[in-house]
Amino acid sequence: MTITIWHNPACGTSRNTLAMIRASGEEPVIIEYLKEPPSRDRLKALIAVMGITPRDLLRMKGTPYADLGLSEPSLNDDQLLAAMLVHPILINRPIVETPKGTRLCRPSEVVLDLLDRPVAQFTKEDGETVHREGDPHA
């Protein structure tokens, strides 16, 4: 199975998601999107396949979101995409692509639905234990 993660190693959610992928026995293609931002077309394609809008993908916390006035409802999709391309930190993460689908994996356990052999239980960095839905031991 080919898996790609748009990853930020400074983000706990992204690190937990990557660890869950690896715990499933897969080694994903890792794109550190702050170093290698997606092209405009690639970002638009990711948004489209996830079935969300550019505004849905915007990250507010720890970004120039407020300084850039991105909460302004009159901004259109092209303007929001342009902001994300200039400031990739505005792209929420992690985005994971698998043959089963592409999702923004927030919270990190969202990734479990995208894996062929997801772990039944996983302990996150903060000590929280998550159980795969349907696991009788949850």
What residue type is 66 in one-letter code?
A: A
User: In one letter, which amino acid is 40?
Assistant: R
Task: Judge whether 11 counts as a catalytic residue.
Answer: yes
Active site residue: 3, 5, 8, 11, which one? 11
- The secondary structure of the chain as a DSSP string is ---EEEE-TT-HHHHHHHHHHHHTT---EEEETTTSPPPHHHHHHHHHHHT--HHHHB--TTSSTTTTTTT-TT--HHHHHHHHHH-GGGB-S-EEEETTEEEE-SSGGGGGGG-SS--SEEE-TTS-EEE-TT-TT-
The residues assigned a catalytic role are 11
